Amino acid sequence: MSSEAEAAAHGGGTHGSAEHLVKMANDIGNFFAAEPAREDAIAGIANHIDKFWTKRMRAKLTAHLQKEGDTGLQELPREALQRLLARQPAAAPAAAVPPAAVPAAASPASAPPAAH
């Protein structure tokens, strides 16, 4: 079975799709829902996503939620993601700036030859 067919058999979407990320977040939420205290469950979900998801995965899920709303995302993972977003700095990361907008550092390869 191909990976796409396998993904479709397990609830749809390809492994990196936003829908798959929603399902993963809900699965994490289902695991931590066993915590006796709601706050511990939310903190556990947020901690797991922060530690084990790549920045790209978190950004993709955030963009999906901003575009589509929180459709399909259960309450505990939704709260955890809101907390993660609240922790992020307001400024955009430097990696989001296009390379052409960043001045090149003076290096021996890019510096003009020295006059003798």
Q: Does residue 53 sit within a domain?
A: yes
Q: Does residue 57 sit within a domain?
A: yes
Q: Is the pLDDT of residue 105 over 80?
A: no
Chain-centroid distance of CA 24 in Å reads 12
Look up the domain containing 50 and give its range: 16-89
Q: Does residue 100 sit within a domain?
A: no
Say whether pTM exceeds 0.85: no
Three-class secondary structure of residue 33 per DSSP = coil
Predicted pLDDT of residue 56? 94
Pair of tokens at residue 55? 């920045």
Q: Does residue 4 sit within a domain?
A: no
How many domains are contained in the chain?
1
For the ranges 23-27, 70-74, 92-96, the lowest mean pLDDT is seen at 92-96
Q: Does residue 36 sit within a domain?
A: yes
Q: Does residue 84 sit within a domain?
A: yes
Expressed in percent and rounded to 5, the helix, strand and coil fractions of the chain are 60, 0, 40
Query: What is the average per-residue pLDDT within 35-57?
Result: 97
Q: Does residue 102 sit within a domain?
A: no
Query: What is the average per-residue pLDDT within 14-34?
Result: 92
Q: Is the pLDDT of residue 21 over 60?
A: yes
